Amino acid sequence: MKLVRKAVFPVAGLGTRFLPATKAMPKEMLPVVDRPLIQHVVDEARQAGIEHFIFVTGRNKAVIEDHFDRQVELEMTLLERQKQKALDRLRYDLPEPGTTSFTRQQEPLGLGHAVWCARELIGREPFALLLPDVLVQHERGCLAQMIDAAREAGERANIVAVEEVPRERVDQYGVVGVGAAKGKMFSITSMVEKPAQERAPSNLILTGRYILQPEILDLLATQDRGAGGEIQLTDAMIALARTQPFYGLKFDGRSFDCGSKVGFLAANVSYALARPDIAPGFRTEIKKILAELNGG
Ligand code: UTP
């Protein structure tokens, strides 16, 4: 049996940093080049062999469900206009029938609460959690790298993707303490949410990709609200780490925090430059803009 079959995508947040773009449209539908953020992370999960895609949605998010459904009228039009390539691509992007599930968070009470809302769909098995506003650009996706590493970690292990940031920025993230090495991973000795620089156990931060054991759901069920009045996933992970192994994996690839405007714009530039059909024209435009800015 596969180590991880199900993936959870929390998409119920308000996306306030992207207002007014996110007033009537979910943040997760913002495109990086020509694919919505949520499609990029579903692609990553499919590459990792995930078989069931669980979305935790909220009000104004119905368009995400429509995105992962067939659009028969559009398909007919593409067929009539002999746009076979576009049609093939649409079909290829769609998960198999019956492999997507949608549940509602009802109120955005935090990431931990969003994960807990998926408990009936997750059941009692390990699951992957992918934050759709983080993209990792690499030929082998971040989750696939984590599942490769998970084979060395044993059945009851929790694994989180981590990356280095400059010390002066650790207070914006969840930070982990580094213990003994285990293959490509290391065991995690502590986790602190948004620590002051001098209290941070390292400069390695949680990136938004997790493989978690189902016991996290029991902890989330009884957890009080933490920072910002939200039910924090990190608090539940800290509690789980007392009874189960937790490992960190420094993944290969570059991450983009698409929840921030600069990260989102940088992702668009980097993904466009990696696309052979777009890169040459786009490179010319960027050069022009930079030359004009530099007065040349
Ligand atoms: P963020 O905190 O980055 O998203 O959560 P946000 O709250 O939508 O954004 P801002 O800060 O207001 O701009 C990371 C992911 O977790 C989901 C979000 O949709 C996002 O994909 N999330 C967050 C939930 O599903 N529920 C929540 O209660 C909070």
Q: Which of 107, 114, 104 is nearest to 236 (CA)?
A: 114
- The 10 Å Cβ neighbour count of residue 174 is 22
Beta partners for residue 192, in sequence order: 175
| Cα 219 to Cα 29, 196, 213, distances in angstroms | 31, 26, 11
Tell me the pLDDT band of 115, cut-offs 50, 70 and 90: very high
Mean pLDDT score, 259-264: 96
Q: How confident is the model at residue 296 (pLDDT cuts 50, 70, 90)?
A: low
Ligand 1 centroid from CA 116, angstroms: 14
Q: How far apart are CA 253 and CA 231, in angstroms?
A: 30
Burial profile 37-52: b = 16 or more Cβ within 10 angstroms, e = fewer: bbbbbbebbbebebeb
Whole-number Å distance between alpha carbons of 66 and 27: 15
CA distance 168 to 235: 23
Best residue among 133, 134, 231 to mutate for probing ligand 1's pocket (most ligand atoms within 8 Å of CB) is 133
CA of 84 relative to ligand 1 center, distance in Å: 37
152 Cβ neighbours under 8 A, 6+ residues apart: 182, 183, 184, 185
For the chain, counts of helices (H) and of strands (E): 11, 13
pLDDT digit string, tens, across residues 131-184: 999 999 999 999 999 999 988 787 789 999 999 999 999 999 999 999 998 888
With a 6 Å cutoff on the Cβ, whether 10 touches ligand 1 is yes
Residue ranges of domains in the chain: 6-259
Tens digits of per-residue pLDDT, 26-40? Answer: 999 999 999 999 999
**Whole-angstrom Cα distance, residue 206 to residue 246?**
12
Long-range contact set of residues 281-289: C-beta below 8 Å, sequence gap at least 24: none
| Res 153: pLDDT | 80
What's the mean pLDDT in 220-229? 81
Q: Is the pTM of this model over 0.85?
A: yes
Beta-bridged to residue 191, according to DSSP, are 176
Which pLDDT band holds residue 1 (cuts at 50, 70, 90)? Answer: confident
261 Cα–ligand 1 center, Å: 14
- Alpha-carbon span 71 to 124, nearest angstrom: 34
What confidence score (pLDDT) does residue 247 get?
96
The CB density around residue 81, as the number of other CB atoms within 10 Å, is 10
DSSP lists the bridge partners of residue 177 as 190
Atom of ligand 1 nearest to the CA of 11: 19
β-partners of residue 35 are 32
Domain with residues 6-259, CATH architecture: Alpha-Beta Complex (3.90)
Kindly state if the Cβ of 109 falls inside 6 Å of ligand 1: yes
Bridge partners for 32 per DSSP: 35
Answer yes or no: is pLDDT of 228 > 90. no
Which two three-digit tokens encode residue 129?
A: 């959690």
- How many residues would you count in the chain? 296
Ligand 1 atom closest to Cα of 18?
13
Hey, which of 11, 29, 261 would you mutate to test ligand 1's pocket, going by the most ligand atoms within 8 Å of its Cβ?
A: 11
Which alpha helices (H) appear in the chain, and where do they start and end? 37-47, 62-67, 72-80, 84-93, 111-116, 119-122, 142-153, 215-221, 233-240, 261-273, 279-293
Rounded CA separation 45/146 (Å) = 11
